[in-house]
Structure 1
């Protein structure tokens, strides 16, 4: 097949897990013999003079990285305007480099998240081919059901439009499938769940350390409210009462860093918490090999690829059951779990892990063994290609704007997917 993947991040421009997901999917599809083109972007804050559009073969994939247009939009301040401008540049580059100069027509367009809704819908319409979309997260999910702010409502409406226009949908977990069904009314039976994969070769295994001194816990991820680091900081004083000297290393950055620093001081654990900021791959692997357990206390998590990466390295897992984390980690076989926002449950799970390091190490070994069976990128690519083959471009009909509630989104009424 000829496959056009559209993503707002792709190496070397990587914001989070989505960029890594699309990269691995693209290279595995190419390795399987498909002709893959990725339409993506150059870094933010650049222009066509400093960072012109690039059209090159990379790892068997044709990557078209589009230059930013000159109008001055900043993602942090003008998110919707910036997103629309990016989409406009994608469409122009796609038509010129695909339909024009080299006359390449895809068999399917695959959109990754709402930020590329406009170019993906436009290009699928132009080429008259099926549109497949992977919904990696939702605005309502990230904000506990609330989409009352102007930007929240705009993002939610674009997500609704992308879902409505898609001929097939993919989610990375069963919980995400149910969320899309509840929010947008897309029949859950028509959504394919394909878990994220992992390349275990880049996350080498090492046995969990056996130390007699104080324990070291690790958190790795973005410092955002939905990641639940605030609950881990609240639990740390309790953990230190039963396991004196326990420290917490936080690898990652985000908008909530200053707030979390204040919380660490409020809970009187500031000296026991080390905020490292963003760390590179090798440093993160070294941290996973060094620490006694990784704690992922997410309140919202469509999948949680960090859990797979951690499992590959052999570090014991202590995670919330939020979304895909509850599917990726199976208690008691591969890790210990707790309910999202349950500080007492988090404390108990960490204490149990630290109190019996031999049992924790055995869970870690089983967790890594499960990765090679269920989460290989070759398996992900094969299942995704099957979705492409089955997708059929349906007849389009005009649709009105969604009715977006000001309060938390309710359980879906089958007759009104976004009932107010």
Structure 2
């Protein structure tokens, strides 16, 4: 069956032949299948043999006709050129591997499309600040030290380059001081890579600000048992789903909501070391100044996330509120509301030393026995709804219903 048409059914294995050749323009190895492919399978296992030795195994979606496949980076590609035997195994579209391959390609396409000109966290923070964030994110000390060492080496490389030092001298100094390879330093100098390339860099957008705001609230339980995974655990599915949607827009991959039946809760978790490190840094140090570059652009979104996690609407009393036990975080959110010219008050009240959560009784720390509440003034209900509001649809609906019922004596103007 070296020539002719090959109708491949799911899980069927077909043997044919082809040619491996080196494309000098693309600097890549290319596989050309000689047989006509006529298949409805979404993806295929492609095994390539030279003689009795397997030289290649890839998973690809094949087009009709005589497909040509570009092979990813491979050592010494010229050694593998020539006539080869090919074994094709179709993967049905419903199989997990096929679905994973489809999702991977969609994510890559979406990333390329959105990240054209899109800003990320690395655009607003310098290397010193990113080092602080990474130190919080890295759970394995050895890995953390290696990354921080590379960042220090990269920073010094860029400084020497800006001073006009010769490339050879820069490479010599950096390799001797930090024990990194010459190739790595040359790639840095040519701006082909940097130490942060191994991270999934969060996009800088409103969704990032929303996730930070909600993660800083007391109304959600952080779900980050494994280092570098950011997420939450809540009782409300609508809240968990909203957080998952926003987190998907930040890390450019689909984030799911998982039910936790024993706890009667819903959990969201996704890998993002930089976002995890940023949130952990703020919560452990109470240093909110690190969020200023984000708040200056998307302050309203930080407030929206915080009010979704710790706030709500009390229709009978005509109250829009949010509250937390961390005074510095509450004061920070209050400052953003001041910048948005939304009138409000901050009040405090004592909490009982014991509380119930997920069917268990817990004892509060002494630092958490005071609750600080933010109350939006009635004159700014409309302004709050327009500029901040709630991301959770049910809460936003309650807010709009409350605004319709109230007879306002005075309302603050909306810019």
TM range (shorter): under 0.3
Higher RCO (CA 8 Å, separation ≥ 6 residues): 1
Report the TM-score when normalising by structure 2. Answer: 0.27
Relative to total residues, which structure has the larger strand share, 1 or 2?
A: 2
- Larger-gyration structure (1/2): 2
Please give the TM-score of this superposition, normalised by the length of structure 1.
Answer: 0.27
